Amino acid sequence: MRGYLVAGNWKMNGSNAANAALVDGILAGAPATDQVELLVCPPFPYLAQVAQMVDGSRVMLGAQNVSVHESGAYTGETAGSMLADVGCSHIIVGHSERRALYGENSDIVAEKFRAAQSAGLTPILCVGETLEEREAGRTERVIDEQLDAALGAAGIAAFASAVIAYEPVWAIGTGMTATPEQAQDVHRHIRARLEAEDAGIAAGIRILYGGSVKGDNAGGLFSNPDIDGGLIGGASLKPADFLAIADAAAALV
C-alpha cells in the first residue's frame, strides 16, 4: 500500500504573515489518517519559518530547487545539505517552469536528482509534455527521455527513495486538468518503464499528478490505480483548497 502524498508547490508566493495563516490552517484541518501524507514547499527564505511551524506535526517540508554542487563559490545557489539542515525532507526537481524559464535540461535535472539524494533528501522528479508534444503523439517519448536521464545518472536503485510527478505542461495553472484517463495512461506508462528495470521499486514508488488539481477533481484522479496523490500549485495557497484535496485522498483510503 503506497498511500497518498499531497504536496503543495507554493512557487514564488508567500510572506511571513500569509505563510503563518496558511500553515496554521493546514495543521488545524489535516486529515487524521497516516495513509495521506502532506508536504508543503515554500520559497527558500521561508523554509526555516515553516520548518518551525510544522515541527512535530505530520506535515513535511520540501524545497523547490537545489544546487547540483555541494558547497563553495556558487553565488545565489543553495546546497541540498543546507535544505536538509533546515528541516526539508523533499525537493522538487525538474519542474516545467525550471525547464522552460531557467534552461534546465534533463541532464541538469538528473544531476539535481542525484544532489538531492546525496543530501539524504527525497527528490520529486517532475516530467511532462507540452501541448504541442501531446498533439504530435510524442507524450510517451518525451516522458521516457526525461525519466531515462535520471535513470541513467542515478540508476534504478535511486528510485526506491524518490517520487515522480507527472505534470502535463498544458495543464499547469491553466484550469485544463488532464482527464483521469489521460493521467492514468501516462502514470501506467511511467510505472511500466520502471517495472522493466525493477518490479519491486516500480510497485513502491509514488507517482503524483500535477496540473490544475482542485478539490472537485482530485477524487476522480486519485481513484486510479497508478495515481498516488498530487503536486498542487494554485490550490495549495489556501488552507480550504489544499485540505479539500487532502480530504479527497483521505476518502479513498
Instruction: Please give the Cα distance from 23 to 57 (Å, whole number).
Output: 11
- Pick the binder of ligand PGA from 232, 243, 248, 250 (CB under 6 A): 232
- For residue 172, the minimal CB distance to ligand PGA (Å) is 4
Q: Is 167 in the site for ligand PGA (CB under 6 A)?
A: yes
Q: Which residue is nearest to ligand PGA (CB)?
A: 233
SS3 state at 232: strand
Q: Which is nearer to ligand PGA, 58 or 214 (CB)?
A: 214
Q: Which is nearer to ligand PGA, 93 or 232 (CB)?
A: 232
- For residue 81, the minimal CB distance to ligand PGA (Å) is 25
- For residue 229, the minimal CB distance to ligand PGA (Å) is 12
Q: Is 172 in the site for ligand PGA (CB under 6 A)?
A: yes
SS3 state at 77: coil
Cβ atoms of residues 5 and 208 within 8 Å: yes
User: What is the C-alpha end-to-end distance of the chain, expressed in Å?
Assistant: 10
Q: Residues 2 to 61: which contact ligand PGA by CB under 6 A?
A: 9
3-state helix, strand, coil in the chain (%, to 5): 50, 15, 35
Question: Known catalytic residues?
Answer: 95, 167
Interface stretch with ligand PGA, choices 54-62, 105-113, 210-218, 239-247 (CB under 6 A): 210-218
The C-alpha cell that represents 61 in the structure block: 517540508
Q: Is 212 in the site for ligand PGA (CB under 6 A)?
A: yes
Q: Which is nearer to ligand PGA, 133 or 201 (CB)?
A: 133
Q: Is 65 in the site for ligand PGA (CB under 6 A)?
A: no
Q: Is 168 in the site for ligand PGA (CB under 6 A)?
A: no
Q: Is 211 in the site for ligand PGA (CB under 6 A)?
A: yes
Q: Is 120 in the site for ligand PGA (CB under 6 A)?
A: no
Instruction: Please give the Cα distance from 56 to 3 (Å, whole number).
Output: 20
Instruction: Please give the Cα distance from 82 to 59 (Å, whole number).
Output: 20
- For residue 171, the minimal CB distance to ligand PGA (Å) is 6
Radius of gyration of the chain, Cα coordinates, nearest whole angstrom: 17
Q: Is 231 in the site for ligand PGA (CB under 6 A)?
A: yes
Instruction: Please give the Cα distance from 8 to 41 (Å, whole number).
Output: 6
Q: What b/e readout covers 65-101, taking b as 16+ CB neighbours within 10 angstroms?
A: bbbbeeeeeeeeebbbbbbbebbbebbbbbbbbbbee
Residues that bind ligand PGA (CB under 6 A): 9, 167, 172-173, 210-213, 231-235
